[in-house]
Structure 1
Amino acid sequence: MAHFNIRQVEAFRAVITLGSMTKAAELLGISQPAVSRLMMDFQAAVGFRLFNRQRGGAEPTEDARRLFAQVEKLFIGLEELNHQVHAIKNLSSGTISIAAMGLYANGLLPEIIAKFRKSYPDIAIKLDSQPQDRIVEWVSSGRADIGVATLPIANASIPVVELLRRPALCVFHASHEFAGRSEIHARDLASRPFVSFPRGTPFRFEVDTLFDREGVDRIMMLEASTHEAVCNLVAAETGVSIVSPYSPHLRRNSQLAFLPFFPAIPISLGLIGDEDRLSVAARCFYDFVIDYVNQIKARRQAADAARTPDTAHQPT
């Protein structure tokens, strides 16, 4: 059996639709003999008669009409495919899946997603809160397009970009005696009730190591597994704590106060994703996050520069 090609199918569709090989030739921009040749080759390929010759044109056979119904479905599918390609390319269609630690899923990311959707309202976004050790697994397996987590990430099999690096903050009740200070030092927390994160977590290990190095003992009677829970316990006046700076919604709690903590504990925020594997929509969001964070950095640098006196031309 001979094989037919898309040009023959296009000509067949035009002849059936317009009822004339001459009109089909005009539509396709070829000669009428060329259309006739295409129909002869197509008929030979399918193996049954397509047209009955009549005065004034070619009358399609019943078999040709049945075939035409399938051809129409094919072209409708092609049109839908073209529409989908256009939608994906122009970001009027698409889905993005993000896996993030609860700290970021409840804090920074909703703000970024809200701004992204103002520019791309037709992109569907799914945000899943996951533990740090599961985020890389989700992105590697394709269950999530992009991951957001605290760095470092052990055994990362996909690229990780550091977005922000800020020092941790000391959090305490707004009525606490610390409220009048400008900064808090490790020695200030000696023999004070302290709300900790669970043992075995990287942040807990880092905080405990710092206090051991400083020779400071705290009263360790409370633990909570999330920043929100830790801050809620602090708001209930059960103690003080050291928390990540990436939780703007928690910092709006009027019962809480935050101050810089020393020695500084830098916390890095990382973006996880393989740019080569991202969809058009996911790549757009990936770039949007990086650009958004760069704007935050630029504003902070400008603010710091405005607060710093110019000493370049002062005598030494």
Structure 2
Amino acid sequence: MEPTLKQFRAFVAVAETGQFTRAAERLGLSQSAVSTLIGQLETNLGLRLFDRHTRLLRLTQAGTEALAVARQAVGDLDRLVENARELNDFSRGRVTIASGTLQAALTLPRLIKGFHLRYPNIDVSMHDVPERVVIEMVKSGAADLGLGTVSERDSEVVGTELLTDAFLVVMRPEHPLAQRSALRWQDLAEETLIGPQRGNPIRERLEAEMARIGMELKLHRSLQVALPLTIIGMVEAGLGVAVMTSTVKPLAHSVGLVTIMPSEPVIARKISLIQRSDNSLAPACRLFREFVQRAIQTSPRGLPA
């Protein structure tokens, strides 16, 4: 038979105390149980570990060599158990989340702050990346979680829905469209439109919805960029109007721009916490996911104060 950790633990205790009686007291076992474990270990190893004297035990040469291995095995197990206990008690841990730049700037910071106040020993590391990179990082394992839009056709990832992000138009306050009380998508047909490059999930969602209603919005060829902040800067400079999502409203309003949500139809996308479908989250990651869900569900603005 193979040696067991229980046998190794008894061996270490006997070697360190020099007596079966003291080893039994340390382990909370009977003296006979400890003696049996040592006998089993010697049989399993095919080695004599102790020279037995009237009152004391002395390690044989083989026992001395085996003791180092036994201590390592027992120590490794104890550290494994302690690490598992700490992780499940949330006394330490690490969470890595990838997010599109707007969500990273305007949604996640308050959530991370609220989480850190409650669980100060868990580190949250955030990567602000283009939206198309979020899913790639989750799939590769570079991020435990992602914040963004997940395709129902992608079986490698699964999302926990958090927010609804509606599409809107961003423009300067003096723009003629800004004076209207209501706006339709058809009203943008002749406008110079600024927007994200091809491959961006926001653009793909918008184009799919426009196709569904038999419309096409053409983004200006030279005004297609990667970062939302650049789009805001272009609108503020008067280069055109932009189709973005409601996450951008605080940023747009802070630089004096106007946002209007077109109707007929109202177009929105779901923002989710994304994880690999074949991977169980570590305790700290599960805790962060649950904290974010509760914070958004209980906050009127979808964010903790």
Q: Please say whether Structure 1 and Structure 2 have the same fold, judged by a TM-score greater than 0.5.
A: yes
Measure the CA separation in 2 of the matches of 1:220 and 1:143.
Answer: 33
Q: Partner of 2:287 in structure 1?
A: 284
CA–CA distance in 2 between the matches of 1:139 and 1:9? 41
Structure 1 distance, partners of 2:130, 2:252, is 22
- 8 Å contact from structure 1 (residues 174, 254) kept in 2: no
CA spacing shift, 1:249–1:87, aligned 2, 3 Å: farther
Q: Which residue of 2 aligns with 1:198?
A: 197
The residue aligned with 1:240 is 241
Give SS of 2:120's match: coil
List gaps (5 residues or longer) in structure 1.
302-316
| Equivalent residue runs for 1:243-258 within 5 Å | 243-247=244-248, 250-251=251-252, 253-258=254-259
**Mean Cα displacement is larger for which, 32-41 or 175-184?**
175-184
**Is the Cα–Cα contact under 8 Å of residues 191 and 219 in structure 1 kept in the other structure?**
no
Q: How does 1:19-98 map to 2 (within 5 A)?
A: 19-98=18-97
Distance in 2 (alpha carbons) for counterparts of 1:275 and 1:284? 18
Q: Is the 8 A contact 1:159 1:272 kept in 2?
A: yes
Deviation at 1:85, TM superposition (A): 0.5
The 8 Å contact of residues 115 and 288 in structure 2, kept in 1 or not, is answered as yes
- The Cα offsets for residues 176-207 of structure 1, whole Å up to 9 and x where unpaired, read as 56666655445665654432333563155258
| Partner SS, residue 36 of structure 1 | helix
Q: Is the 8 A contact 2:90 2:119 kept in 1?
A: yes
176-185 or 86-95, which moves further after superposition?
176-185
d(CA) in 2 for partners of 1:130 and 1:113? 17
CA separation of 1:212 and 1:196: change in aligned 2, threshold 3 A = farther
Is the alpha carbon distance of 1:39 and 1:277 closer, same or farther for their aligned partners in structure 2, counting shifts above 3 Å?
A: closer
Q: Residues of 2 paired with 1:115 and 1:217: CA distance?
A: 41
**1:106 is paired with a residue of what secondary structure?**
helix
Q: RMSD of the alignment, in Å?
A: 3.5
Q: Is the 8 A contact 1:97 1:127 kept in 2?
A: yes
1:228 corresponding residue in structure 2: 229
Which amino acid in 2 is paired with 1:267?
R
Match of 2:267 in 1: 265
Q: C-alpha separation between the residues in 2 aligned to 1:287 and 1:193?
A: 42
Cα distance, 1:77 vs structure 2:
1.6
Query: CA separation in 2, counterparts of 1:50 and 1:248?
Result: 74
Structure 1 counterpart of 2:232, which letter?
C
Alignment coverage as a number of residue pairs: 297
How many angstroms does 1:86 deviate by? 0.6
Determine helix, strand or coil for the equivalent of 2:261. Answer: strand
Match of 1:311 in 2: none
Q: How does 1:202-221 map to 2 (within 5 A)?
A: 202-203=204-205, 205=207, 213=215
Partner residue in 1 for 2:121: 122
| Secondary structure at 2:262 match in 1 | strand
**Alpha-carbon offset, residue 233 of structure 1:** 0.8
Following the alignment from structure 2 to structure 1, what is the Cα–Cα distance between the partners of residues 212 and 171? 19
Percent identical residues: 27
Give how far 1:149 is off: 2.0
Offset at 1:235? 1.6
Q: How does 1:126-145 map to 2 (within 5 A)?
A: 126-145=125-144
Give the 3-state SS of the residue equivalent to 1:262 in structure 2: coil
Q: Report if aligned partners of 1:196, 1:220 keep a CA contact under 8 Å in 2.
A: no
Shift of the 101–154 alpha-carbon distance from structure 1 to 2, 3 Å rule, reads: farther
Instruction: Describe how 1:178-193 pairs up with structure 2 within 5 A.
Output: 183-186=182-185, 189=188, 191-193=190-192
Report the CA distance shift for 1:144/1:4 in structure 2 as closer, same or farther (over 3 A). same
Deviation per residue, 1:122-170 (Å, 9 max, x gap): 2233333444445444434444332222365543443334322243222
Q: Which amino acid aligns with 1:283?
A: R
SS in 1 for 2:287: helix
Q: 1:15 to 1:157 in 2, by over 3 A?
A: closer
Kindly indicate whether the alpha-carbon contact (under 8 Å) linking 1:108 and 1:247 is maintained by their aligned counterparts in 2.
no
2-side partners of 1:56 and 1:159: how far apart? 64
| Secondary structure class of the residue paired with 1:30 | coil
Equivalent residue letter for 1:17: E
Amino acid in structure 1 at the alignment position of 2:91: S
Please give the alpha-carbon distance, in whole angstroms, between the structure 1 residues aligned to 2:220 and 2:130. 27
